[in-house]
Copies of this chain bind each other. A is one copy, B any other.
Amino acid sequence: MTFAEDLKLIEDYQKEIITLGRISGLLNWDTQTFMPKKAHEERADQLSYMSSLIHEKMVDPRFCEAVNRLKDSDGLNSRQKRIVQILFKEISKSKKLPKEFVAELAKERSLSFNAWQKAREEMDADIFLPRLAKMVELKKKEIEYRGYEGHPYNVFIDDYEEGMTVSKLDPVFEKLKKGLIELLGKIKESDNYKNQKKVLAVSGFDKDKQIEFTNEIAKSLGLDSEFSRLDFSEHPFSTRLGLKDARITTNVRDDPMFSIGSTIHETGHALYELGMPDEENYTFLGESPSYGMHESQSRFWENMIGLGKPFWKHFFPKAVNLFSIEDNIDLWHKEINHVFPHYIRIESDEVHYCLHIILRYELEKGLMDGSITVDNVAEKWNEKMKEYFGLDVRNAKEGFMQDVHWSEGYFGYFPTYALGTIYAAQIYNRLLDEMEDAENQIAEGNFEKIREWLKNRIHKYGSMMMADDIITGVCGKGLDADDFLDYLNKKYGELYGFSPRDN
């Protein structure tokens, strides 16, 4: 094979692997949105089969040999070098897993997801626990196959956030935990907290009107129905079935901020996907370099924009009109930012949110190193909820069964939510520096310039650079929780009436 033939070959293989991945994406999307219930076992067969096909392609000797040859060649430009670097890493990972194991894991994922759903419906953790035990067993087996340095959990952290490890995360999360607990202390001591109660943002939000409202918001933010869809699923998610096919889901509760927040969040993900470079549609560069980077985009829109006063200057009059609530934007803004300990991560306020993540991070570490088992994971969960939130968990649906992730074996995913939150604060700070009238634009419901700014500063790179390099490029420094803690202290100091912390 010549150099040019090798390049062509890896181009073809990437296209095949990406196509298979997108087809699996449709199977997954359908599983969670429209599939008839009884089809779940057949669907599990289908997903498992697709995973084995992707795995087969990744470890195909022709492909691996071409990547190896290219890795050692001198003729690559920087783009090609980055592609080969990513492919080499992915192949090395895949090669360590036997094909049968990959198929077993994919099939178990579907069965376990289904058991999770059923267990929640029937409020019976025993339906889910055996499957979770099997899933943890498989994931520990995966760690064995793949090998690790330092902590076994590092294997999965790195899957979602390249280069990240327990020893790097522990201090960041300790600092964050400390800062959040301090801030929560100040909030809880304030009179505003003691007297807080929801008046506007609490009930009477017709569900059809919520849907109408969230659709309008998503459209305003730039979610174009020619390239995307907004559907419903138990747990909101986003998935990309192509450069021109970004799908998100939402769900509606009594609290209108659930559907609004999750729709804005998933829209942020979709805008990132739709902003990927056209010319990398069928290469491994045409995607986010990390889940934390991806989450920075959803958090940026959900928190920095969607929970801010400027955003509501534009949307509150529409909400008043649609839901017949009192026309008091200050009260509304206070209420949608109420700090209040909640059992459920995705219904949590900004301040508590990362504590939910840190709780999960600590449990996942334990599950992977064996210091926690599936037998006592509920108990440990509940202990930490008591310790960090002061809450007594009443049932597994409000406890360890609240998230879809474990049912699908996505250990290592949760930390990226906190990373994304931290990145988002850094990015927003930078936006305010670079675009003087950003908040005016938001207040006018004009999001195009901000979208373009994100596209030019972040999206267009795909994974040409690693997350930390992109953040450094935009913000002048890498991951740093201070921006987020400062933002929270300033915002919640104003809302609850105390001075921001000193740095």
Residues of B within 8 A of A225 (CB): 36
Residues on A close to B: CB < 8 A? 15-16, 19-20, 22-23, 26-27, 30, 34-39, 41-43, 45-46, 49-50, 53, 225-229, 231, 241-245, 281
Name A244's closest neighbour in chain B (CB-CB): B38
Assess A42 versus B244: contact at CB under 8 Å? Given A23-B50, A26-B26, A27-B26.
yes
Whether A43 pairs with B242 at a CB distance below 8 angstroms is yes
The residue among A19, A39, A49, A244 with the most chain B CB atoms within 10 A of its own CB is A39
Chosen A-B contacts, 13 in total, with CB atoms closer than 8 Å, are: A22-B42, A22-B46, A23-B46, A26-B30, A34-B229, A36-B227, A36-B244, A39-B244, A42-B241, A42-B242, A42-B244, A42-B281, A43-B242
Q: What's the minimum C-beta distance from A299 to chain B, rounded to whole angstroms?
A: 25
Name A20's closest neighbour in chain B (CB-CB): B49
Whether A38 pairs with B229 at a CB distance below 8 angstroms is no
Bound Cα distance from A37 to B231, whole angstroms: 16
Bound Cα distance from A226 to B50, whole angstroms: 24
Residues of B within 8 A of A53 (CB): 53
Bound Cα distance from A34 to B49, whole angstroms: 24
Bound Cα distance from A227 to B41, whole angstroms: 12
Residues of B within 8 A of A227 (CB): 36, 38-39
Name A45's closest neighbour in chain B (CB-CB): B19
Bound Cα distance from A19 to B48, whole angstroms: 10
Given pairs A22-B46, A34-B229, A38-B226, 4 additional interface contacts (CB within 8 A) = A15-B45, A23-B49, A26-B27, A36-B228
- The binding surface of chain A is classed by DSSP as helix
Bound Cα distance from A104 to B229, whole angstroms: 28
Whether B245 pairs with A19 at a CB distance below 8 angstroms is no
Assess A19 versus B49: contact at CB under 8 Å? Given A38-B244, A42-B242, A42-B243.
yes
**Oligomer copy total:** 2
Bound Cα distance from A41 to B22, whole angstroms: 13
Q: What's the minimum C-beta distance from A125 to chain B, rounded to whole angstroms?
A: 24
Q: What's the minimum C-beta distance from A55 to chain B, rounded to whole angstroms?
A: 14
Residues of B within 8 A of A231 (CB): 34
Q: What's the minimum C-beta distance from A70 to chain B, rounded to whole angstroms?
A: 24
Bound Cα distance from A301 to B214, whole angstroms: 41
Whether A19 pairs with B46 at a CB distance below 8 angstroms is yes
Bound Cα distance from A30 to B43, whole angstroms: 15
Residues of B within 8 A of A49 (CB): 16, 19-20, 23
Q: What's the minimum C-beta distance from A335 to chain B, rounded to whole angstroms?
A: 35
Q: What's the minimum C-beta distance from A35 to chain B, rounded to whole angstroms?
A: 7
Bound Cα distance from A229 to B228, whole angstroms: 22
Residues of B within 8 A of A36 (CB): 225-229, 244-245
Bound Cα distance from A112 to B26, whole angstroms: 22
Q: What's the minimum C-beta distance from A429 to chain B, rounded to whole angstroms?
A: 34
Bound Cα distance from A244 to B38, whole angstroms: 6
Residues of B within 8 A of A245 (CB): 35-36, 38-39, 42-43
Bound Cα distance from A36 to B27, whole angstroms: 16
The 7 A-B pairs with the shortest beta carbon distances in the complex, nearest first, are A42-B242, A39-B245, A38-B244, A38-B226, A39-B244, A19-B49, A37-B226
Bound Cα distance from A35 to B229, whole angstroms: 8
Q: What's the minimum C-beta distance from A461 to chain B, rounded to whole angstroms?
A: 21
Q: What's the minimum C-beta distance from A154 to chain B, rounded to whole angstroms?
A: 34
Name A228's closest neighbour in chain B (CB-CB): B36
Residues of B within 8 A of A45 (CB): 15, 19
Q: What's the minimum C-beta distance from A48 to chain B, rounded to whole angstroms?
A: 9
